[in-house]
Structure 1
Amino acid sequence: MTETTRPRHQTPGPLEDVVLGVDTHKDIHVAAVITMTGSLLDTRSFPTTEDGYRQLLAWASAFGRLQRAGVECTGSYGAALTRYLHREGITVTEVNQPDKDTRRRRGKTDAIDAAAAAQAVLSGRATATAKTGDGPVEAIRMFKMAKVSPTKSRSQAVNQLKAVLVAADPALREALTGLSNSKLIRKCSELEAADDTAPAVAARHTLRARADRQRGEPLATRRAQVPVIT
């Protein structure tokens, strides 16, 4: 649901330029519209949905000719809104959040931050054009994330296995020394419970459980083999 407020100033003519400012959040965006002289016209909040973006643009455009917008967090919370505004022909400028001293002087509310974003564009303080986020660079970034995440997880798993082996009994440690990472994970997954001292039993179970998680195998099938250490 949008949050409505009464216009605080006289609405300009339909051909007069206005500037939009947006303070972005996860679930709502708070928008403000100002005139070319810096007068605040109105503020309103909109949900971060496709319909919410349409409502935001229609609301802002009703005040005059909208060609520029200042948006906070264009790479995260404001990314989807930035793409939408770009597609609608609006030039979006990335606006950094004000520093703490500035916020203390003028107060801190979402509406104030939204108006400050518009003022930053109007004054020229904010000049960096926001990335569109819809081209091949963004696609490559997503693919890289998908690749790096499992690679990082695998590296962490191998490091954990090797950390357990450092303190394991010599026989177990020597049996798993010198293996490649893939062979180490496979060998650890194949470890069986042994009638041994408590630390040795714990080491085998830990190695096997961590290797199973890395290989994506369900642990439920091995629950019957979980050792009971007394």
Structure 2
Amino acid sequence: MRMRKKPWAKDMIQQRTDCVISDPATLKGDWSSFGYDIIVVEVGAGKGDYWIGMGNKNPEELWIAVEKNIDASAIALKKSINHTKENMKFIVGDVDKIDLWFEDNEVDRIHLNFSDPWPKKAHTKRRLTYDTFLNKYQKVLKKDGCIIMKTDNAKLFEYSLVTFSENKWFLKEVSVDFRRETHDEDVITEYENNFMQLDQPIYRAIFQVPTGEIND
């Protein structure tokens, strides 16, 4: 379902100067200047629930949300007005530019939380676990960095396991029913809880950065 346009979206984004990074390229190689040793990026933050929850839960980490949809970004920023800590930043932009925003080996962890599955074959290249995205993630992640992926979509999960493997990423952890056990370290958003109420399994995997050259 296409999100309705929010006439107040641009104003909200402009108002949130406390957390919105309007020109992230100027911070390339200098994100540690915010005073945090651990830099975490959530790609495709949507309406911001996971970013808000995890940013508040982990005040010792710098949590940077990336969302290209202006309306979703505005909702996230409006929702977080009274819940934004100093360690929480927001980028309104396309993750395709992630290597222009972050220096090589600068990011500790990337989260892909319930990404759009783009089920049609014609849209394969839009999936956030497509080869070109994996190469960009590998570039900005530290040598011991990782990607944590979580989804309700079995086909996207299967596809992603294959693409990560083909690109030589190391599968560190995998679960086909992540919420079967309690995981207090990981925030449950309203979106995720809706699937849990339907007994829909949540798929989760942690992929370690591969060693060697990045594939062309």
TM-score by length of 1: 0.28
Which structure has more helix as a fraction of its residues? 1
Higher RCO structure, 1 or 2 (CA under 8 Å, sep 6+): 2
TM-score, normalised on structure 2? 0.29
- Please tell me whether Structure 1 or Structure 2 has the larger radius of gyration of its CA atoms: 1
